[in-house]
């Protein structure tokens, strides 16, 4: 579900006659910041077992990452789909903030991932997640939706994740369908090529 | 044209970063 929504959006946008060229016109204020936020989370993930203070502060850092992300998404709220992405991130942030900076995960919903993941979850080995217990606040906003087989990429996701992907879908559709077309260009020809290839 | 392809790829990377960085799906800590 992480990037599946983007791939699906690109495919649907293409079948609707949109063009990938439209993505060249995407303008996000502070867009450069999001890869940095992602990189920061990878750094935490890989260093949390080696550096004590990073492990200790990881929940605070995750919350700061989400706050920063929310601020920059808000700055881009005038773009189609971005308010929906903002709402999804806000839902994730609310439940994480209510639970000490960790995303609660339903052990029941995660069963299909295997024992290794369940044990890691209960042991708190993954800094961004923790198992839902009776003390968890707003558990319905946690990772409670299993994406199990036949879905190809098994995960447990939250309502916020679903909302985010809907927002990304709307944004990509807007970009692809508003792509400037020159002459007989792109989408029509692409459709013909696709049908020939099939 | 090449510049446009590069810009599309950069923007896809940024959009992907938005989703990956702020999503919460549980698999291996992502």
Q: With 0-12 CB in 10 A as exposed, 13-18 as middle and 19+ as buried, what is A45?
A: middle
Q: Which of A3-7, A71-75, A125-129, B5-9 has the highest mean pLDDT?
A: A71-75
- Would you call A129 and B30 a contact, using CB atoms and an 8 Å cutoff? no
Helices (H), B1-30: 2-22
Nearest to A20 among B8, B15, B26 (CB): B8
> Is residue A2 helix, strand or coil?
coil
pLDDT at A72 over 60: yes
Is B2 an 8 Å CB contact of chain A?
no
Nearest to B23 by CA among A37, A177, A183, A15: A37
> What is the DSSP code string of A11-63?
HHHHHTT--GGGGGG---TTTTHHHHHHHHHHHHHHHTTT-HHHHHHHHHHHH
Minimal CA separation from A56 to chain B, in Å: 16
Strands A129-131 and A103-105: parallel
**pLDDT of amino acid A54:** 87
| Residues contacting residue A77 through CB under 8 Å, at least 6 positions apart | A83, A86
pLDDT band at A116 (very low <50, low <70, confident <90, very high): confident
pLDDT at A102 over 50: yes
pLDDT at A194 over 70: no
Instruction: Specify the higher pLDDT residue, A5 or A81.
Output: A81
Beta strands in chain A (DSSP E): 103-105, 129-131, 145-147, 155-157
pLDDT band at A115 (very low <50, low <70, confident <90, very high): confident
Contact (CB, 8 A) for A39 and B16: no
Contact (CB, 8 A) for A113 and A102: no
- Would you call A37 and B13 a contact, using CB atoms and an 8 Å cutoff? no
The angle formed by the CA atoms of residues A194, A162 and A4, to the nearest 5 degrees, is 35
Per-chain mean pLDDT for chain A: 86
What is the pTM for the complete model shown?
0.86
Contact (CB, 8 A) for B24 and A147: no
**What residues does A40 pair with on adjacent strands?**
none
b/e map A145-172, b = 16+ CB within 10 Å: bbbeeeeeebbbbbbbbbbbbbbbbbbb
Asked, as a colleague might, if the bond just before A150 is cis with ω within 30 of 0, I would say yes
Residue of B nearest to A125 (CA): B29
Q: Which residue reads 């939250």 in tokens? A: A158
């Amino acid at each position: 579900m992480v990037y599946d929504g983007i791939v699906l959006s690109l495919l649907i946008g293409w079948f609707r006659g949109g063009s990938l060229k439209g993505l060249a016109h995407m303008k996000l204020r502070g867009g450069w910041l999001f890869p940095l936020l992602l990189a920061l989370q990878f750094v935490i993930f890989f260093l949390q077992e080696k550096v004590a203070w990073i492990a200790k502060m990881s929940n605070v850092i995750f919350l700061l990452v989400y706050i920063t992300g929310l601020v920059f998404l808000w700055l881009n709220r005038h773009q189609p789909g971005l308010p929906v992405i903002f709402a999804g991130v806000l839902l994730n942030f609310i439940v994480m903030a209510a639970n000490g900076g960790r995303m609660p995960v339903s052990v029941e919903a995660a069963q299909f991932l295997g024992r290794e993941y369940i044990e890691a979850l209960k042991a708190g080995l993954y800094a961004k997640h923790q198992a839902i217990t009776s003390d968890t606040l707003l558990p319905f906003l946690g990772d409670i939706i299993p994406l199990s087989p036949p879905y190809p990429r098994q995960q447990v996701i939250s309502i916020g994740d679903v909302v985010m992907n809907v927002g990304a879908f709307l944004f990509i559709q807007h970009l692809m369908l508003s792509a400037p077309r020159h002459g007989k260009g792109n989408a029509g020809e692409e459709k013909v090529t696709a049908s020939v290839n099939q | 044209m090449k510049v446009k392809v590069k810009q599309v790829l950069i923007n896809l990377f940024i959009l992907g970063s938005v989703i990956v960085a702020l999503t919460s799906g549980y698999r291996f800590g992502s």
